[in-house]
Amino acid sequence: MENLSSSLAPAEWIVISHASDVGAARRAGQVLASALGMDATRAGQLAIVITEAATNILKHAGEGRMLVSSAAHGGQRCIEVLALDSGPGIANLAQAMQDGVSTAGTAGTGLGAMRRLADQLDVYAPPGKGTALFARLWLDATAAAQPVHIGGVCLPLAGETACGDAWAVLQRQGGFSLLMADGLGHGPEAAKAAAAAVQALQAAPGRTPAQLMEDCHQALRPTRGAALAIAELDPAARQLRFAGIGNIGASIIEDGARRQLMSHNGIVGHNMRKVHELTFACPAGALVVLASDGITTQWDLAQYPGLALRAPALIAGVLLRDHSRGRDDASVLVLTTVESV
């Protein structure tokens, strides 16, 4: 069994700062729902979730942004909604999650309705630290019991529509292969380089990180090149094999401690010396985090009590919201390790 999840799936970021942006976000969701083949009932549920999330941003924070994306996990397709703001947070999240409670006064009756309509809903909103909300609606509702161990975000540089970063996770029997690529510069040409790396992973699923790095070096020669990090998680052995070229941040977080993994200088596709592959202990419950250089290196999950236990996509979203440099494409990929696959 091999299943690929990646940032190359259709997705749209929407800045939420005006009432008209709520409609724009809802329409973006409906376009994805139609392309995915969602029936009218599921599409209507998605519309309510998006409307509630966007309206809450306006009512409580004044502005924020949303990511509405198509995704695939374990061979099943879904639509994911990520809403981020830097507002006041939620003083009593447990109360706000009750069905029928709507501090925003909207028709969907707030977070409780969103929890009822979405197959998965996760919220991180400590008082004074903004609100991050993640919802997932599966195309096939019977897939709702399926665990998802990964989550990622890619945000293009302001003014660009194509993101020069890309991430991908290949889940197979016995483990995961993770990839984060940062195409040189930004814009469409950088996006081509990053996409070529994802395609190389998909074409050679059984390769080690060092071997796959060599494959990518050849595949990216016609492009402007990229920084690249590749990891292979073996949950049964509790080990992570890693190879990195260029400025991609990679970390293992275990029991609150962060171990940063070393990459080497170079540009995959143009200037790459011998690839060094290293092996690290990575027990169940640890987090693996890959981030492009559009994310500062000074983030610390210890500053976010409880965040490490939330959905991986929510973790990725919070790190992007709070630690994006704002002058480059920015991407974060998070994997929660498990005992076995």
Q: How far apart are CA 136 and CA 73, in angstroms?
A: 11
The 10 Å Cβ neighbour count of residue 134 is 27
Cα gap 31→72, rounded to integer Å? 17
Between the CA of residue 178 and those of 68, 123, 241, 243, 250, what are the distances in Å?
A: 22, 25, 10, 11, 11
Amino acid code (one letter) for 91: A
Length of the chain: 341
Identify the pLDDT of residue 1. 42
pLDDT reported for residue 108: 43
What letter represents residue 84's amino acid? L
Q: Rg (Cα) of the chain, in Å, rounded?
A: 19
Pair of tokens at residue 65 = 């942004």
Question: How many other C-beta atoms are found inside a 10 Å radius of the C-beta of residue 199?
Answer: 16
Instruction: Provide CB contacts within 8 A for 116, sequence distance 6+.
Output: 99
Domain boundary assignment for the chain: 8-145, 150-336
Q: What is the pLDDT of residue 85?
A: 97
Q: What is the pLDDT of residue 18?
A: 97
Which listed CATH number (3.40.190.10, 3.40.640.10, 3.30.565.10, 3.90.110.10) goes with 8-145? 3.30.565.10
Closest CA to 233 of 76, 74, 341, 72: 341
Note the pLDDT of residue 107. Answer: 46
Beta bridge partners of 179: 168, 230
Q: How far is 147 from 286, CA to CA, in rounded Å?
A: 16
* Fold held by 150-336: Phosphatase 2c; domain 1 (3.60.40)
**Which two structure tokens, joined as six digits, stand for 95?**
């109360």
Alpha helix positions (H), 254-331: 312-323
Give me the pLDDT at residue 124, please. 97
C-alpha dist (Å) from residue 201 to 43, 180, 228, 288, 333: 32, 11, 12, 18, 16
Residue ranges of the chain whose pLDDT lies below 50: 1, 104, 106-108
Helices (H) and strands (E) in the chain, counts: 7, 16
Q: What are phi and psi of 27, to 5 degrees?
A: -65, -40
